[in-house]
């Protein structure tokens, strides 16, 4: 039976600072708009959860989502914007199935656990060359251009733009010449201005910077569509989704609706320049606190490779880390526990995470180190 507390509707003022790595914090105005429209979309009389994906209403939502995403990232006309399912994880398979013939090779730069998973799936399809890896250094950094062994004949080069678990991020795309660059941008998509034409394909699960779990955005240069083999399962062929404007089958209607609201919010916030500046500000607050702690807090990522989305660090002992996490919860911070492969703390500060939350964490960190240092 529900308790009285559970029966009370959640209020905006009840919200705490959510440092979770994903699914992650969403902009409050987006949640409020979705809440207002959940029972009945204005002028429609049914919920977004109840409408047909073939209805004019949904068609307009889908078109608005695509148009806003195009505007946000100044996506050139020769790129298609697709909404797919199966998460970023299915892209680990779809990318090679569509772009890597069995007798050819693709270059993968391995910068963390997600890159390794991408490699594993590609190896089932064709040949993979690891063009660079920082695994022996605990994935504490992104390799330099000079360390990459790129094959000019590769079908594509695959990178993970932000390594959610380790807290490292590419701050500049690698130079790949004429070879198509494919990016898993799940955890830093639209966190700063992006030059889409440097990439052939960008994909991202929505659940960090774009919306809820359940939809994957793909931005695909049209000429890649010619590469897909003709005998691919229909749902795994990019052509199916491109030819049917992401409506071949029932798409995740609610997730796309929320992505549309998030895209509108990002534009209203001033677009990617403004969002990028705010992300820099939040990350600087946290990294300055780590660097200025006299060694109490130990950042995992090397300077130059540090992520503006996931700030990872250790404390002098696991015992202190446990204490930090339990006191953090009491201060109204959630989701700070680091991934088990790195340990320690991970503060995820995606687009919708407020500067005030980063300031509050810095204040808590400074008190905690003073009391326990």
Ligand X SMILES: Cc1ncc(COP(=O)(O)O)c(C=O)c1O
Binding site for ligand X (CB under 6 A): 22, 87-89, 114, 160, 164, 184, 186-187, 205
198: tokens are 């440097």
CB 353 within 8 A of CB 191: no
Rounded-to-integer distance, Cα 27 and Cα 260, Å: 12
Q: What is the dihedral of CA 295, 297, 302, 305, to 10 degrees?
A: -150
| CB closer to ligand X, 255 vs 358 | 255
State the nearest-atom distance from the C-beta of 168 to ligand X, in Å: 11
| CB closer to ligand X, 24 vs 289 | 24
CB 314 within 8 A of CB 300: yes
Rounded-to-integer distance, Cα 264 and Cα 26, Å: 13
Rounded-to-integer distance, Cα 291 and Cα 373, Å: 15
Q: Catalytic positions, please?
A: 114, 184, 208
State the nearest-atom distance from the C-beta of 160 to ligand X, in Å: 5
Rounded-to-integer distance, Cα 84 and Cα 236, Å: 10
Q: Shortest Cβ contact with ligand X: which residue?
A: 87
State the nearest-atom distance from the C-beta of 335 to ligand X, in Å: 13
| CB closer to ligand X, 286 vs 309 | 309
CA angle 8, 14, 19 (to 5 degrees): 130
Sign of CA dihedral 237, 243, 245, 248: negative
State the nearest-atom distance from the C-beta of 207 to ligand X, in Å: 6
State the nearest-atom distance from the C-beta of 108 to ligand X, in Å: 13
Which of 216, 246, 219, 213 is closest to 59 using CA atoms? 246
Burial of residue 314 (CB within 10 Å: 0-12, 13-18, 19+) is middle
| CB closer to ligand X, 205 vs 211 | 205
Rounded-to-integer distance, Cα 363 and Cα 19, Å: 15
Q: How many residues does the chain have?
A: 373
State the nearest-atom distance from the C-beta of 23 to ligand X, in Å: 9
Determine the distance from the C-alpha atom of residue 73 to the mean position of all C-alpha atoms in its chain, rounded to a whole number: 15
| CB closer to ligand X, 205 vs 299 | 205
| CB closer to ligand X, 186 vs 351 | 186
Q: 321: helix, coil or strand?
A: helix
175 secondary structure, DSSP code? P
């Amino acid at each position: 039976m529900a308790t009285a507390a559970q029966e009370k509707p959640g209020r905006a003022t009840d919200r705490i600072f959510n440092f979770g790595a994903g699914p992650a914090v969403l902009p409050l105005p987006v949640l409020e708009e979705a809440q207002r429209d959940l029972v009945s979309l204005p002028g429609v009389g049914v919920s977004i959860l109840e409408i047909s994906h073939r209805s004019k209403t949904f068609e307009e939502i889908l078109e608005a989502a695509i148009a806003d995403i195009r505007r946000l990232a100044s996506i050139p006309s020769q790129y298609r914007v697709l909404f797919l399912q199966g998460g970023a994880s299915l892209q680990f398979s779809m990318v090679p199935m569509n772009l890597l013939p069995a007798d050819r090779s693709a270059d993968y730069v391995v910068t963390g656990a997600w890159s390794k998973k991408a490699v594993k799936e590609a190896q089932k399809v064709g040949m993979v060359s690891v063009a660079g890896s920082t695994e022996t250094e605990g994935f504490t950094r992104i390799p330099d251009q000079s360390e990459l062994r790129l094959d000019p004949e590769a079908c594509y080069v695959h990178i993970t733009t932000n390594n959610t678990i380790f807290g490292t991020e590419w701050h500049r795309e690698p130079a790949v010449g004429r070879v198509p660059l494919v990016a898993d941008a799940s955890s830093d998509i639209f966190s700063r201005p992006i030059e889409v034409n440097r990439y052939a394909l960008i994909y991202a699960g929505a659940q960090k910077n774009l919306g809820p779990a359940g939809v994957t955005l793909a931005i695909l240069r049209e000429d890649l569509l010619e590469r897909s083999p003709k005998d691919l399962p229909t749902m795994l062929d990019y052509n199916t989704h491109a030819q049917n404007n992401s409506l071949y089958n029932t798409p995740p209607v609610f997730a796309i609706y929320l992505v549309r609201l998030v895209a509108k919010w990002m534009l209203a916030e001033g677009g990617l320049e403004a969002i990028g500046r705010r992300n820099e500000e939040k990350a600087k607050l946290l990294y300055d606190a780590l660097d200025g702690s006299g060694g109490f807090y130990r950042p995992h990522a090397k300077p130059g490779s540090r992520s503006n989305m996931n700030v990872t660090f250790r404390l002098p002992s696991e015992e202190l880390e446990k204490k930090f996490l339990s006191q953090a919860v009491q201060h109204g911070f959630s989701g700070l526990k680091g991934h088990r492969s790195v340990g320690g703390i991970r503060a995820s500060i995606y687009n919708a995470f407020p500067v005030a939350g980063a300031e509050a964490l810095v204040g808590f960190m400074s008190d905690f180190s003073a009391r326990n240092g």
